[in-house]
Amino acid sequence: MTHAHLTPKVSPAVAIESMVNIVGKDSVLLDPQDLKSWGTDWTKVFEPEPLCIVQPKTTEAVSKILKYCNDNQLAVTPSGGRTGLCAGAVASQGEIVLSLHKMNKILDVDAVGMTITAEAGVTTEMLQNAAKDAGMFFPLDLAAKGSCQIGGNVATNAGGVKLIRYGGTREQVLGLEVVLANGEVLDMNVALRKNNSGYDLKHLFIGSEGTLGVVTKVVLRLVPKPKNLQLAIMAVGSFTDIPKILQTANASGVTITAFEFFTQVAHKIVLKHLPGARTPFQEISDYYVLLELEQAEGEGVMENLLGKLFDDGIIADATIAANSTQFKEFWGLRENITESLSAHGQVRKNDISLAIDKLEGFVAALQQMLANENPKDMDLVLFGHIGDGNLHINYVSPKSRDSKDFHSVARAIEEKVFKLLAEFKGSISAEHGIGLTKKKDLHFTRTEREVAWMRQTKKMWDPVGILNPGKIFDL
Ligand SMILES: Cc1cc2nc3c(=O)[nH]c(=O)nc-3n(C[C@H](O)[C@H](O)[C@H](O)COP(=O)(O)OP(=O)(O)OC[C@H]3O[C@@H](n4cnc5c(N)ncnc54)[C@H](O)[C@@H]3O)c2cc1C
């Protein structure tokens, strides 16, 4: 089994033998259990069916693998930590999975230039720890940080909880080493902060979901450690008050490092599934906001802000984390939503974004639409990086429900949501990407001409079409 546009010039057995010749027997996985777990990601929607899993240890080996696959028309799926939420790393059509798992060294931490250089298979958490050990801060932060890899972060242009303060992955990348489909190693590894000498090619690869090249090395910027972080969790009665909190915080001149929200249903599900989780509130509320501030300016900044929000009737209740344990507890209520939802039931995910000033109108229209639909046995769970206009819409049904029925009902609603989103000029993917799960919906966000230019770009960098075929769009 392979992709229609590829006619392999060698048999599967010969292809596997060639992989063994390049990386050694220990670095080619063939066991059915391994094929299953390394051939998929968090979506678990598509049945994985890779030819084999190859785990090179050097850029040179990646180059040899890709050259061989290009010459022999073999499909390759680059793979990181497999925490992706759009089936970008899924190999369901006999692809060779190229896992960067063994390229996991931090190569350099430069305390003067404030940069860190690492191989693509280093996890986000390893980068955070290395930066911390050197007295600095790596600002990319997401709940999957212990498993996701910087190569995967670059390929998905991951966002995360600190985007509001420091930008997403794109803003952290200073240099990249990428292996192209034909095996050429392209070094865009210059750690310069300013470099206006022609096209900045690295940006093409950021967010390209493994369709244009395989990231093997990354140079990232580091920032000074944030000072005196303060965290408050607030109970809010109406969604319309959430943008007001953001506006009030911005107007007061504080430095916001995170601004997240979740609904009552999301909160209840976390309390049920996260061991030891507790709510800080006596009364339940429809919405909750998590606000993190850098209190470098002096004491009382958060208290003053919360005081104003109370006086203006914007929030119903609030608690400030009193110590590091509470800090972790409050963050846990937000960061464990994705995992708790998976434990709770069947989940279909949308990850949309809107201009902040359009959020209120969109959510009102969405809630009205869903009230009319009244889907049986299905909860709507909203949460997300709302300070960036990023809303995660999750449809959740009990595990006992027939899966086909669940997905077909959720899909019908999803299409209506995307139509509504297009009217509000939003995006169908804020940070998770398109992969396999959203490619049929790309037209809601991108014009025909944009997609045509994306196809041209793909053809230029990968003329045979071996790299992650079928992801983002069909060729
Ligand atoms: C609990 C949880 C919370 C999450 N929170 C967030 C969040 O806050 N923000 C966010 O943006 N995402 C979030 N995600 C999604 C996911 O963690 C990110 O998309 C992450 O960047 C994926 O990295 P990965 O290494 O797991 O990549 P994978 O899932 O392995 O792959 C993702 C894509 O990148 C490609 N790829 C992987 N490595 C390379 C490489 N070296 N070169 C070229 N292409 C490559 C793959 O082919 C695939 O298309 C979350 C996921 C989970 C499970």
What is the average pLDDT value for the chain, to the nearest integer?
95
Report the SS3 class of residue 253. coil
The Å distance, Cα 120 to ligand 1 centre, comes to 12
CATH of 106-224 given 3.30.465.10, 3.30.470.10, 3.30.360.10, 3.90.1150.180: 3.30.465.10
Instruction: Name the closest-CA residue to atom 27, ligand 1.
Output: 152
Regarding the beta carbon of 441 and ligand 1, being less than 6 Å apart is answered no
Is there a common fold for 12-102 and 106-224?
Answer: no
Regarding the beta carbon of 93 and ligand 1, being less than 6 Å apart is answered no
Supply the DSSP string of 145-177, one letter for each residue: TTT-BHHHHHHHT---TTHHHH--HHHHEEEEE
Read off the tokens for 144: 């999957």
Please determine, looking at this structure, whether the domain spanning 229-338 carries the CATH number 3.30.70.2190: yes
Q: How does pLDDT run across 413-426, given as a tens digit for each residue? A: 999 999 999 999 99
Atom of ligand 1 at shortest range from CA of 168 = 11
Regarding the beta carbon of 363 and ligand 1, being less than 6 Å apart is answered no
Q: What are the φ/ψ torsions at residue 114 (nearest 5 degrees)?
A: 55, 60
Regarding the beta carbon of 144 and ligand 1, being less than 6 Å apart is answered yes
| HSE-CB for 425 with a 13 A CA cutoff | 4
Could you tell me which CATH number the domain at 12-102 has? Answer: 3.30.43.10
The Å distance, Cα 216 to ligand 1 centre, comes to 15
The Å distance, Cα 458 to ligand 1 centre, comes to 20
- Enumerate the domain spans of the chain: 12-102, 106-224, 229-338, 345-448
Report the pLDDT value the prediction gives residue 297, as an integer from 0 to 100: 64
What mean pLDDT do residues 291-308 have?
A: 88
Regarding the beta carbon of 97 and ligand 1, being less than 6 Å apart is answered no
**Strand pairing report for 96-99 and 76-79:** parallel
Read off the tokens for 311: 């006086």
Instruction: Name the closest-CA residue to atom 15, ligand 1.
Output: 84
Q: How does pLDDT run across 112-135, given as a tens digit for each residue? A: 999 999 999 999 999 999 999 999
The Å distance, Cα 253 to ligand 1 centre, comes to 33
Distance of CA 352 to the CA centre of its chain: 12
pLDDT band at 220 (very low <50, low <70, confident <90, very high): very high
Atom of ligand 1 at shortest range from CA of 430 = 11
Report the pLDDT value the prediction gives residue 9, as an integer from 0 to 100: 98
Report the pLDDT value the prediction gives residue 453, as an integer from 0 to 100: 97
Atom of ligand 1 at shortest range from CA of 77 = 47
- Residue pair 155/204 in contact (Cβ under 8 Å)? The answer is no
Regarding the beta carbon of 149 and ligand 1, being less than 6 Å apart is answered yes
Regarding the beta carbon of 99 and ligand 1, being less than 6 Å apart is answered no
- Residue pair 275/416 in contact (Cβ under 8 Å)? The answer is no
CATH of 345-448 given 3.20.20.60, 3.30.70.2740, 1.10.357.10, 3.10.129.10: 3.30.70.2740
Regarding the beta carbon of 214 and ligand 1, being less than 6 Å apart is answered yes
Read off the tokens for 15: 């292809």
Q: How does pLDDT run across 315-327, given as a tens digit for each residue? A: 999 999 999 999 9
